[in-house]
Structures are given as structure tokens and as C-alpha cells.
Amino acid sequence: MCNTPQSPHVERPSWDEYFLKLAMLASERATCPRMHCGCVLAKDRYVLATGYNGSLPGAPHCTDVGCLIVEGHCVRTNHAEINAICQATRHGADLLAATAYVTNMPCTACAKALIAAGIKRVVVFSEYHSTLAEQFFAESSVTLDRLPIPGCVIKYDLANYPSARAGKSTS
């Protein structure tokens, strides 16, 4: 048996931090320049679905043709929460009593959709303007947790993992 040296202890993120970081990563796929939002739907420490604000499948993106503004809001895109719920539905995921990790407080319509889908907890780290989400969550017994933004750095120390090595780039 061979003992390998251990790398310095790296603090593991909590489950909430982990899922919020995944939501942040999902937000990088957003196609509306007015806001990048990500959502992860999780249950029993498993990811059920992810979403980001983006155009309908096959439709042009705001980043390509500009935003479609109606009453001060871009309506070209679905919000991250709606896209996550739609992805869960397409894959048959059970959202009853799941948690939604969202980079921003949901808008009123997304809050209502999360409630109707059976979400029982919502975790956010930033706010959204003019929303009744908090009121609807309270009325529907959905727990709302506001956490600090998790660290924005992915810690992957390839040089110090003895079983890994850098791959060859194909681009």
C-alpha cells in the first residue's frame, strides 16, 4: 500500500453554496444582456434541472438581434426559473418539495410558477426589482432563504492532484 501526500485542506462548499455556484454557472449561458440569471432545481442533494434566461428553442437570441422590450421588460426570453421547470417537465422530474437555487429573487410570474410546480424552498443571493415573490412565497408556505453570494472562483488545483494531468487542447 502506498500513501500519497495529501494536498492542503480545501474547504468544501456547503450544499447551498454548491447549488448556488451551479446556478451562477448556468447564468453564463444567458442570452439577454439586460440580466443574466441562473436557476438550479434540486432535491435530496441531486440536481433535477437547470435553467438560464434565454430565447425559446430555435428563436433568435437577444445577443444576436436585440431585446424585444414591452413595458420595460424584455419578452424575447424565458426566465431561468421557467426554463428550469420546463427542462424538469421534459425529463419527468418530480419537483414536489424541491428547492430552487436562483441567482436573483424571482419575478412575480416565476415565483408563482415555482409555487405551482411544488417548490418548497427558494434560495437566492441577490434581489430583483418590483416583485411580489416574497409575499407569494410566504402565503404559500415556501421558505425563502437569502444567502451571501458564494465564492466566484472554482478551486481546481490540477497541478497538485497526483492522479490528474493537463489534457491536450483541441482548439
| Catalytic residue annotation | 81
CB 68 within 8 A of CB 35: no
Q: Are 147 and 20 in contact (CB under 8 A)?
A: yes
Q: In Å, how far are 5, 19, 70, 73, 85 from 78, measured between CA atoms?
A: 48, 21, 14, 11, 11
Q: Can you list the pairs that 25-30 forms with residues at least 24 positions away whose Cβ atoms lie under 8 Å? A: 26/50, 26/51, 26/52, 26/80, 27/52, 27/53, 27/80, 27/103, 28/52, 29/54, 30/54, 30/77, 30/80
Cell matching residue 127: 434581489
